[in-house]
Structure 1
Amino acid sequence: MHTKPPNILVYSRTESIKNELVKTLRTVLQGNTYTVYPITEPQVKAKAWPNSTALLLVHGSIGKGLADVFLDFFLHGGKLFSICCTEILHRIHCCNSSVRGALFTEHLKDLHGVNREVYIEVMSRNSTVFSLTAAKSNGRAVLSQMKLNDVSDSDNKRRLDIFRYVLSTQLDIRITESDTTDKLNCETGFLLGDDQCKTNFLAHINDTTHIPNTLETGGLVLQFYSETNVPVVPTPTFHPIWLNRIPKDFSLSDYFDHLKTFLFGRLAIYLPVVGSSMDIVSTATLGHGFVVIPRQQTNGVGRNNNQWLSPEGCAMFSIQLHVPLSSPLGQRLPLVQHLVAIAIVKAIRESGPGYEQLDVRLKWPNDIYADGVAKLGGSIINSQVQSAEAIVNVGCGLNLSNSTPTVCINDLVQTFNTRNGTNLPLLRYEQVLALIFNEIEKLFNEVQCGNLQYLFDLYYKYWLHQDKPVKMKNEKGSEVTGQIKGIDEYGYLLVMIDNHAKPVCIHPDGNSFDMMNGLIIPKYF
């Protein structure tokens, strides 16, 4: 299992080449399978990346120090694609061979000085491409002297074909079947809720817009139509929304039969396809508990602008919460992300008899994990203050029925049934969304009534980290060790550094985390 959706990382000292390679990879890779990021030299040296990296693509001169790090990644089971990198290529002593298909065996030292046996094959007649396999770890590498950085150029189809061939056949990376990325077709959306909720909502937006029944938000235009109107064709920036029609791929009965809330989820926009549901809620005041439910997203974005994969079968939503600043939660807004994460875990584990035995838990600050190793979901949060109230928008995604890129809830159910001879039903899309909204509203009301301890007790009940050892980098780059002790009243992580009298407070937006391997990398390093 991958702890997170597998990353493909790109390193080059030339920024333009790095950006071009990232762009090309995002074009040729199979959709909703990998996240693609550029990586910097400090991030390479921090070493928080290897366990979640499916492929490392390196271009050009990098220096001996980084070459050693990248080769060590390969020698210990990683996949490496090196393009025009002399520091790596010159480590291969047989690189002057001109015989295509020639096989060699060499020994390369890892960062600990241990000799590792490597099998090498010459893939080209003019000795420009080599395929390497690490004997014990099965790491794979392709070292190429061919200039592939301009593979997106329309005049370089042959180079693009080679690029795709190397990724798919030599490095087992999933690619698209054609040169163009499949695009999801835009579709009309639906406003879900009873007639009174819809009437109140339309009255609200008509008070704030110059075009009747139209909502403009986040670069999108949503126009609401009754049965008597025929909407125009939807586009990525224009979404017609039916007021009274029933979606074909969303069961209203299943959803509202399970929804037991007073406000949360009672009014929702359902969109089969949208760029990002957060674009709709983030710049508009829509109502406390208002929800946007996307079936698929084409441009989802996570915390710190990370890519948010949105495969079919993922249960996603954005919810808007109105929080008085004078309230218990209003004085501790960072707790909202914990509240929503707890609600998701609680909804799954209390969805019926037997489900409480599923090992679905929390990774700080707001990720949801299965069996302590595989990421099931997470959230993103933003807020703005209006007078004495904070408008908080939370976007969430939960792997429900999609077995890739990590694992999903219904995989866990099936595995549990097989191991225990039980017959727990698979959880349904509309059912799960409704159960989550039930729990968010319950927890929200509980906290606002002053019962903060209830929230903390649930968080500690479900989280993965109590007293776990952790390593950190201090401001000088030196490594320090300690233990995770909890969260403070605002939800920030508390770490007791060895030989310190008081715990250190860690903020989620100031650090990089490999929490499952006990590593925190402050962004100042």
Structure 2
Amino acid sequence: VLKHGCPVAWKSAEPFVIILQCSFGGLVILTDAFGQGHLSLDEDLQLIRIIGVKTKGTPQKLVPLEDNYPMYKSEEDLPNSCIQDELTPNSNLLQHSSNTGETTLIISNKYSQRNNEHSSDAVQSSSKSSVDQDVNAKEPSATSNNETQPFIKKPTKPPNILVYCGIKDTATIFANIKSSLEMVINTEAYTIYHLTREAMLSTPWTSNAALLIVSSCLEWSTDEEKKIDDYIRRHCGRLLSFNCSIDSKFSNKSVDTDTRKNTLIQFKYGDSVVTTFRGPYYYTADNEYAEVIVPLDQGSRADEKNMNHDQNKKCLVLKTCLNGSGVVVLSQLLLERDPADYATDSESFARLKQANADRLEVFRDLLTSLGIDTSPGNIPALTPCLLLVRRVGLKESFLNSIKHRLRDEVLKSKNISLKFVDNYGQETTPSLLPVITSVHCDIQTQFFRLSEYWQNLKTSTLGQVVFYTDVIPTTMTVFDGLIFSVPENIGVIAIAGRQTKGKGRGGNAWLSPLGCAMFTLPIQLSVGTKLAQRVSFLQHMVSLAVVQSVVTLPGYEELDLRLKWPNDIYYGKEMKLGGVLVTSTIMNTIIYATIGCGFNVSNSNPTVCINDVIRLYNTSHPDLPDLPPLSTGQLIARTVTILEGLIEEFNRSGHLPFCQQYYRCWLHSGAKVTVQLDQPTQGEIIGLDEHGFLSIRTPDQKLLSVQPDGNSFDMMHNLIYVKST
């Protein structure tokens, strides 16, 4: 911190405040480093916030150490001379309010913290000469969309469960529903998103949801109803609705005159009697595609035999399959939220809590009826980290490089602190990761074959110092506290067998089950290098390195692994295998980039993995020797090795040779997209521009460079053109 500013004043209150005078460039460096979680202070101080302030007057002089003033318990005990010396708004940096006793700062909104993700943050316009290249995109193989082939699943909805809660108190309601969902679904198979009203109307969610849940939404706009109808009927979507007015679009719904709004009832479900709240309506199963789940008369759950003889049965929960379209489950039973959300008094709260396990069981069954995986997902215990090297002396060099940052062998950081220890014994928590330094490089681990990693790693620097842990929340934060301390010639990498809270692009969660290759790789780029001047290309390099780690193996060349701009790895055109996240910050003349990467190697769920693709290829080519399956250790090492080579080649030859390699694997040449100018404009994808962004040719032959609109579902939807400055 002191390299980029000079402290001029401080305030010893809660929180402790330091006024730092610095240049604009210094402020940019400090706020960027803070945004990445890389800014730290000595004396075990944790930085909470950076704000810009305007100052008045001059700082009060510090009391000389040799002066010995008496201590006073309260302001009333102070002598008059002390009171007269009190800070005043006109002569000091800090303003003191005589009314509240609070010290305040004059806040300036001129500067703000910026978190720089080099996915597509900066956008440049480009000339025709810089992008009008020979772009030869690889055509999909014949096997990529063959529905009759074994092993590969048909393209399915992405494993997203979306929750729509209307427009009032949506964050609170969503958090409650998400909590219930996480107790009844396989959390390793799905990501739960809050679908806001704005996102419902503006993002391409209809083709990116395995299930939509709507909760107690009594008012719908025409546009919202059209979106829901489009999702169900055109995209064959699945809807679970709890007491929503939109139910009437899919079934006859009538008011139950004997029931008030949100009435506490009991109903029989299997061998249980469940207590819950219900809405004021009931449904009628009036066609052959309707199925009663919970009858209105609160009797036993209807079976298929009863349904054949009673098509007009009244019910509280109804499942209906729309002919040739989607599936809808409508419920007047309010099962999606914790009882505390509905309870009006202590008696009803107690009754609901006692029946909570039964409520969740019914909720689970409704989800199962919609094809959602509700098998129990195990949340494993966190494990310590192993510090592993293969080269003699490298471990000692690394530890010496960070020694000055340790306090009692702990390197503190905002998200997770590292405690370097010799042996097992220190407890692992989400905020403290023990790093065991005395283990052998070929130690046996539960989820990762280190021997395969070392055998396939051919780098001079990258990935030579391994932080390996079987189970960790996320590898993306492991190096937050040491990224500026490790020398450029020591390449560290964090590898996990499993992640419990993996991070994806734009703050999305990233599913990280066993069999997924997951790593975080910090690298340093001198600002004078060609890649540092076009750092957005780094994410493309990592994606290409993943694909090449497979298809450059003898016999694996024809596997249909593709690249989707800006940072996704695909099998064919429809099925995502993995993705890349790159964050960066600049300090002095060095760009510090942190690469996060995850791709499916041997986990067939929730979508598809590389070994599934290999099995399909073996079946489709019986005349050829079977290709053996690949491992995470093998492919992580090969990816890092290839990445190091791509970086070196880019710095020697620039971006054009790299682009030619990239285009052989990508999906987009000649594709039509919509660009948001003054009005939506159709354009044709030409390639990457000189900065690594997507180059589009409009109908009037103008070339634009574009970025995504920030939605969480499809980066190619609603591309935004931003003029260069």
Provide the TM-score with structure 1 as the length reference.
0.88
Q: 1:325 to 1:55 in 2, by over 3 A?
A: same
CA distance in 2, matches of 1:87, 1:265: 54
- Aligned mate of 2:445, from 236, 248, 264: 248
Share of identical aligned residues, percent? 32
CA distance in 2, matches of 1:273, 1:144: 38
1:128 and 2:316 correspond: yes
1:294 and 2:488 correspond: no
- Aligned mate of 2:373, from 174, 189, 193: 174
Q: 1:135 to 1:452 in 2, by over 3 A?
A: same
- Structure 1 counterpart of 2:657, one-letter code: Y
Counterpart for residue 466 of structure 1? 669
Equivalent residues in 2 for 1:95-244, closer than 5 Å: 95=254, 103-105=285-287, 119=290, 121=292, 123-125=294-296, 127-137=315-325, 139-151=326-338, 153=340, 155=353, 157=356, 158-168=358-368, 170-177=369-376, 182-194=378-390, 195-212=392-409, 214-226=410-422, 229-244=423-438
| Long gaps (5+) in structure 2 | 1-153, 258-281, 298-314, 341-351
1:67 and 2:225 correspond: yes
- Aligned mate of 2:511, from 296, 309, 316: 309
SS in 2 for 1:489: coil
- Greater relative CO, 1 or 2 (CA 8 Å, sep 6+): 2
Deviation at 1:39, TM superposition (A): 1.0
Q: Structure 1, residues 336-373: CA drift from partner, whole Å, max 9, x if none? A: 111111111111111x2111100001000010000121
- Structure 1 counterpart of 2:360, one-letter code: L
Counterpart for residue 450 of structure 1? 653
CA distance in 1, matches of 2:696, 2:708: 13
Deviation at 1:410, TM superposition (A): 0.5
Deviation at 1:488, TM superposition (A): 1.0
Counterpart for residue 161 of structure 2? 8
Deviation at 1:384, TM superposition (A): 1.3
Counterpart for residue 109 of structure 1? none
Counterpart for residue 20 of structure 1? 176
1:416 and 2:617 correspond: yes
Deviation at 1:248, TM superposition (A): 2.7
CA distance in 2, matches of 1:4, 1:204: 47
Kindly name which structure, 1 or 2, has the bigger radius of gyration based on alpha carbons.
Answer: 2
- Structure 2 counterpart of 1:34, one-letter code: Y
SS in 2 for 1:462: coil
- Structure 1 counterpart of 2:220, one-letter code: G
1:93 and 2:252 correspond: yes
Of Structure 1 and Structure 2, which has the larger fraction of its residues in strand?
A: 1
- Structure 1 counterpart of 2:662, one-letter code: Y
- Aligned mate of 1:84, from 235, 243, 254: 243
The answer (yes or no) to whether the contact 1:363–1:464 under 8 Å persists in 2 is yes
SS in 2 for 1:381: strand
- Structure 2 counterpart of 1:175, one-letter code: T
Deviation at 1:121, TM superposition (A): 4.0
| Long gaps (5+) in structure 1 | 107-117
- Structure 1 counterpart of 2:635, one-letter code: V
1:359 and 2:359 correspond: no
CA distance in 2, matches of 1:92, 1:474: 42
Deviation at 1:257, TM superposition (A): 1.7
Counterpart for residue 381 of structure 1? 582
SS in 2 for 1:128: strand
Deviation at 1:4, TM superposition (A): 7.2
Counterpart for residue 101 of structure 2? none
Counterpart for residue 399 of structure 1? 600
Q: 1:272 to 1:396 in 2, by over 3 A?
A: same
CA distance in 1, matches of 2:246, 2:609: 41
Counterpart for residue 306 of structure 2? none
- Structure 1 counterpart of 2:418, one-letter code: L
- Structure 2 counterpart of 1:129, one-letter code: V
Deviation at 1:73, TM superposition (A): 1.7
Deviation at 1:509, TM superposition (A): 6.5
Q: Structure 1, residues 246-303: CA drift from partner, whole Å, max 9, x if none? A: 2333333322121111011111101101111011123432454310001111111111
- Aligned mate of 2:543, from 341, 353, 356: 341
CA distance in 1, matches of 2:157, 2:637: 26
1:263 and 2:461 correspond: yes
Deviation at 1:495, TM superposition (A): 1.8
CA distance in 1, matches of 2:157, 2:227: 22
The answer (yes or no) to whether the contact 2:676–2:721 under 8 Å persists in 1 is no
Deviation at 1:105, TM superposition (A): 2.4
CA distance in 1, matches of 2:256, 2:291: 11
CA distance in 2, matches of 1:392, 1:171: 42
- Structure 2 counterpart of 1:135, one-letter code: N
The answer (yes or no) to whether the contact 2:160–2:208 under 8 Å persists in 1 is yes
CA distance in 2, matches of 1:511, 1:56: 17
CA distance in 2, matches of 1:321, 1:204: 16
CA distance in 2, matches of 1:521, 1:141: 32
The answer (yes or no) to whether the contact 1:132–1:142 under 8 Å persists in 2 is yes
Counterpart for residue 111 of structure 2? none
The answer (yes or no) to whether the contact 2:424–2:436 under 8 Å persists in 1 is no
Q: 1:278 to 1:47 in 2, by over 3 A?
A: closer
Equivalent residues in 2 for 1:420-439, closer than 5 Å: 420-421=621-622, 422=624, 423-439=626-642
Q: 1:140 to 1:42 in 2, by over 3 A?
A: same
SS in 1 for 2:656: helix
Provide the TM-score with structure 2 as the length reference.
0.65
- Structure 2 counterpart of 1:305, one-letter code: G
SS in 1 for 2:188: coil
